């Protein structure tokens, strides 16, 4: 969860409740979007990550090969 007041952003893990603050600026917004994009990619590859809901939860990740990229040479 991310909350900001225009001066500082507070990042709080919804899983373990740890939090930290950062100054709020355009770089912080870019970082948040990058993290969200990265998490979407990881939960597609490891759907068991979606099972993490409460502090103390854990999952075992099974290594999977990356899907081949589509398109190839033209």
Q: pLDDT tens digits for 36-61? A: 788 888 888 888 888 877 767 777 77
Domain for residue 24, yes or no?
Answer: yes
Domain for residue 65, yes or no?
Answer: no
Residue 38 is part of which domain span? 2-51
Domain for residue 16, yes or no?
Answer: yes
Report pLDDT digits (tens) over 14-31: 777 888 898 888 788 788
Domain for residue 60, yes or no?
Answer: no
Total domains in the chain come to 1
Q: DSSP state, 50?
A: G
In this prediction the pTM is 0.46
Residue 46: Cβ within 10 Å count:
14
Structure tokens at 42: 């990881």
Burial zone of 33 (CB within 10 Å; 0-12 exposed, 13-18 middle, 19+ buried): exposed
């Amino acid at each position: 969860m991310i909350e900001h007041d225009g001066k500082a952003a507070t990042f709080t893990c919804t899983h373990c409740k740890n939090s930290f603050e950062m100054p709020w600026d355009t770089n912080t917004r870019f970082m948040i979007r990058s993290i969200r994009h990265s998490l979407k990619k990881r939960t597609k590859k490891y759907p068991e990550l979606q099972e993490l809901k409460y502090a103390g939860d854990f999952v075992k990740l099974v290594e999977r090969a990356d899907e081949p990229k589509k398109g190839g040479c033209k």
